[in-house]
Chain A
Amino acid sequence: MIGIKLSWRYFLHRRISILAVISVALCVFIVVVVMSVMNGLVNEFKEKNHRFVGDCVIRASSLTGFPYAADFVQQLEKQSFIYAVSETVQGVGLMTRPGSSWNVGIDYVGLDPVKHSRATHFAETLGYNADHPERAFQPSYAPEMDGCILGVDLILYRRPDTGQYDSPGRPWLDRRTISSFPLNPKGGLARAGLDMVSTKTFYYSDHSHSGLVKPDGRTIYLPLEQARILSGMDTPVVRSSTLHIRFAAGVSVTDGVRQVQQLWQAYVQSCKGKPYAEMLDDVRVLTWQQDRREFIGPMEKEQLMLTFLFLMLGIVTVFIIFVVFYMIIGHKTRDLGLIKSLGMPASRVAAIFLGFAAIVGLIGTAIGMTAGCLFLWKINAMENWLYDHYGWRVWDRAIYAIDQIPNAIEWPVLVCVAAAAVAACLLGASVPSIQAARQSPVRALQVSQI
Chain B
Amino acid sequence: MGHILQAKGIHKSYTMGKQTLTVLRGVEMTLSAGDFAVIVGASGSGKSTLLHILGALDKPDKGTIEFEGQRLDQMSNGRLNQFRNQNVGFVFQFYHLLDELSVLENVLLPAMIAAGPIGWLKCKKNVQNKAISLLERMGLKDRLPHKPYELSGGERQRAAIARALINDPRLLLADEPTGNLDSKTGHGILEVLNELNQQGQTILMVTHDDRIARQAGCVIKLSDGKIVS
Which residues of A approach B to under 8 Å, CB–CB? Answer: 1-6, 9-10, 12-13, 334-335, 337-346, 348, 440-442, 445, 448-449
**CB < 8 Å neighbour of B81 from A1, A13, A343:** A343
Q: Which residues of A contact B99 (CB under 8 A)?
A: 13
B61 to chain A, nearest CB (A): 14
Does the CB pair B85–A343 fall under 8 Å? yes
Does the CB pair A6–B100 fall under 8 Å? yes
Which residues of B approach A to under 8 Å, CB–CB? Answer: 52, 57-58, 77-78, 81-86, 90, 92-94, 96, 98-101, 105, 109-110, 112-115, 117, 120-121
Q: Which residues of A contact B96 (CB under 8 A)?
A: 334, 337-338, 341, 445, 448
In the bound complex, CA of A448 to CA of B99 (Å): 14
In the bound complex, CA of A2 to CA of B90 (Å): 19
The answer to whether A1 and B112 touch (CB under 8 A), given A6-B100, A341-B57, is yes
The answer to whether A342 and B90 touch (CB under 8 A), given A2-B112, A442-B57, is yes
Most chain B beta carbons < 10 A, residue from A2, A9, A344, A441 = A2
A-B contact count (CB 8 A): 69
Q: Which residues of A contact B115 (CB under 8 A)?
A: 1
Please report whether the interface of chain A is mostly helix, strand, loop or mixed according to DSSP.
Answer: helix
Q: Which residues of B contact A12 (CB under 8 A)?
A: 100
A350 to chain B, nearest CB (A): 13
Q: Which residues of A contact B92 (CB under 8 A)?
A: 338, 445
Please report whether the interface of chain B is mostly helix, strand, loop or mixed according to DSSP.
Answer: helix
Q: Which residues of B contact A13 (CB under 8 A)?
A: 99-100
**CB < 8 Å neighbour of A335 from B52, B58, B98, B120:** B98
Does the CB pair B94–A343 fall under 8 Å? no
User: Nearest CB to that of B78 among chain A residues?
Assistant: A345
The answer to whether A344 and B94 touch (CB under 8 A), given A1-B120, A6-B100, A10-B100, is no
Report the 10 A-B pairs with minimum CB-CB distance, sorted nearest first: A343-B85, A9-B100, A2-B112, A338-B96, A343-B84, A343-B81, A1-B120, A1-B117, A342-B110, A344-B113
In the bound complex, CA of A409 to CA of B94 (Å): 55
Does the CB pair A343–B110 fall under 8 Å? yes
In the bound complex, CA of A91 to CA of B101 (Å): 81
In the bound complex, CA of A12 to CA of B114 (Å): 25
Q: Which residues of B contact A348 (CB under 8 A)?
A: 113
A186 to chain B, nearest CB (A): 84
26 A-B pairs within 8 Å (CB atoms) are namely A1-B112, A1-B115, A1-B117, A1-B121, A2-B109, A2-B112, A4-B117, A5-B105, A6-B101, A13-B100, A334-B96, A335-B98, A338-B96, A340-B81, A341-B96, A342-B85, A342-B110, A343-B84, A343-B85, A343-B110, A343-B113, A346-B81, A348-B113, A442-B52, A448-B94, A448-B96
A110 to chain B, nearest CB (A): 75
In the bound complex, CA of A440 to CA of B58 (Å): 8
A109 to chain B, nearest CB (A): 70
Q: Which residues of B contact A338 (CB under 8 A)?
A: 92, 96, 98
Most chain A beta carbons < 10 A, residue from B86, B93, B94 = B94
A176 to chain B, nearest CB (A): 79
In the bound complex, CA of A3 to CA of B114 (Å): 12
Does the CB pair A3–B117 fall under 8 Å? yes
In the bound complex, CA of A342 to CA of B85 (Å): 5
Q: Which residues of A contact B110 (CB under 8 A)?
A: 342-343
Does the CB pair B101–A9 fall under 8 Å? yes
Known: A342-B90, A343-B110. 14 other contacts (CB 8 A): A1-B115, A1-B121, A6-B98, A9-B101, A10-B100, A337-B96, A339-B109, A343-B85, A344-B81, A345-B81, A440-B58, A442-B57, A442-B58, A449-B94
B117 to chain A, nearest CB (A): 5
In the bound complex, CA of A341 to CA of B117 (Å): 19
B50 to chain A, nearest CB (A): 12
Q: Which residues of A contact B58 (CB under 8 A)?
A: 440, 442
Q: Which residues of A contact B120 (CB under 8 A)?
A: 1-2
Q: Which residues of B contact A445 (CB under 8 A)?
A: 92, 96
**CB < 8 Å neighbour of B93 from A2, A10, A339, A449:** A449
B200 to chain A, nearest CB (A): 22
Most chain A beta carbons < 10 A, residue from B99, B109, B120 = B109
Most chain A beta carbons < 10 A, residue from B92, B100, B120 = B100
B170 to chain A, nearest CB (A): 14
**CB < 8 Å neighbour of B113 from A2, A334, A449:** A2
User: Nearest CB to that of A440 among chain B residues?
Assistant: B58
In the bound complex, CA of A338 to CA of B96 (Å): 6
User: Nearest CB to that of B90 among chain A residues?
Assistant: A341
In the bound complex, CA of A3 to CA of B77 (Å): 20
B174 to chain A, nearest CB (A): 13
Q: Which residues of B contact A9 (CB under 8 A)?
A: 100-101
In the bound complex, CA of A135 to CA of B105 (Å): 83
Does the CB pair A441–B57 fall under 8 Å? yes
Q: Which residues of B contact A10 (CB under 8 A)?
A: 100
Q: Which residues of A contact B57 (CB under 8 A)?
A: 341, 441-442
In the bound complex, CA of A279 to CA of B192 (Å): 107
In the bound complex, CA of A346 to CA of B113 (Å): 12
Q: Which residues of A contact B84 (CB under 8 A)?
A: 341-343
In the bound complex, CA of A430 to CA of B114 (Å): 25
